[in-house]
Homo-oligomer: A and B are copies of this chain.
Amino acid sequence: MIKGREIHLAARPVGEPRSSDFEIVEVDVPDPGPGEVLIRNTWMSVDPAMRPRMDDTPSYAPPYALGAPMEGAALGEVVASGVHELEPGSVVVHWLGWREYALVNSRHARAIRRVDLQLAPPEAHLSVLGHTGFTAWLGLFEIARLKPADVVFVSGAAGAVGSLAGQMAKIHGLRVIGSAGSPEKVSHLLDDLGFDAAFNYRDGDVMELLREAAPDGIDVYFDNVGGRHLEAAIDSMRDHGRVAICGTISSYNVADATQGLRNEFQLVAKRLRLQGFLMRDHLDRMDRFLAEATGWLRDGQLVHRTTVSEGLENAPDAFIGMLRGRNVGKMLVRLDGS
């Protein structure tokens, strides 16, 4: 019997997660039954949206159970298979990360997807060609429905989704403004990713900083942050502006939020549309996204940065660090032995 380690949720965090909220556990790895696939994970993703599922409150998916493994996107190699089309050696992405070995039931819709390492290295399939890139693409094209001449503002713009959203808007020839949390990240946006303007939101009042960066206003806001950033974006919005709400990371670690959106009337006055979205409602668009993103990647139009942590045991710290903004681009964990 193979043994494998996995990360369990040991306690529900109050505010910022701590290392003690996680526990590393060694378990027996079962053989796959019919319809099941056993995967040795080599890469896993840590994403901001995992944080809300650590709370015991309604969210986009059931809360992670205490004493059970965390979940999240991962990439690995099939080592034993009860599914004809997924022979051992296949490289796949799936949703049972935070563990060395994952037993995935392939009958769940989109539970597992084979990837092509000829197109891009493994980590790209958890970022630019994976859920991160797809989320950026959906927010811009399906939710905000970019139009020619839109001015686009992206928050968390040096992060996994934001960095791709900003670049995709640039590929479409639009003016793009980004916010990030350090001078180095701001330089990265301007020098490496081609943003037209960028600011460090820690430098002052976000509303003022955005007004300076976008003196003529914005039409689209790709929101990864919420809170004061959303308020600032509404303030700078031109009539008929659209907000694609991908995440609200500023609220995730706040146990008792006391501040929120204070300029609601502008939603009426400017006839704004705010729309939250999740990838899983749009899976029929995945192939279209992959075709476009693969082309951009091949042509060098998309710069793809990762911040990599080594070893399953460091996944909690990678996750905590990502929530603090320690990453540039996609935060990933490479598992031992890959």
Other-chain residue from B227, B269, B276 in contact with A267 (beta carbon distance below 8 A): B276
- Residues facing B in A267-301 (CB within 8 A) are 267-278, 281
Which bracket fits the contact residues of A?
A: 35 or more
- A264 near B227 with CB under 8 A, answer yes
- Residues facing B in A240-264 (CB within 8 A) are 245-248, 251-252, 257-264
Q: A262 → chain B, closest Cβ, in Å? A: 4
- A276 near B272 with CB under 8 A, answer yes
Residue of B nearest to A277 (CB): B271
Q: How far is the CA of A20 from the CA of B253 in the complex (A)?
A: 47
**Chain B residues in 8 Å Cβ range of A271:** 275-278, 281
- B251 near A52 with CB under 8 A, answer no
A58 close to chain B: CB less than 8 A = yes
**Chain B residues in 8 Å Cβ range of A251:** 262, 264-265
- B276 near A270 with CB under 8 A, answer yes
A69 close to chain B: CB less than 8 A = no
Q: Which of A230, A262, A276, A277 has the most CB of B within 10 A?
A: A276
**Chain B residues in 8 Å Cβ range of A252:** 265
A338 close to chain B: CB less than 8 A = no
**Chain B residues in 8 Å Cβ range of A268:** 49, 60, 245-248, 276-278
- Residues facing B in A46-70 (CB within 8 A) are 49, 52, 58-60
Other-chain residue from B247, B264, B281 in contact with A226 (beta carbon distance below 8 A): B264
Q: A220 → chain B, closest Cβ, in Å? A: 15
Residue of B nearest to A61 (CB): B269
Q: How far is the CA of A262 from the CA of B281 in the complex (A)?
A: 25
Chain A residues at the B interface, C-beta cutoff of 8 Å: 49, 52, 58-60, 226-227, 230-231, 245-248, 251-252, 257-278, 281
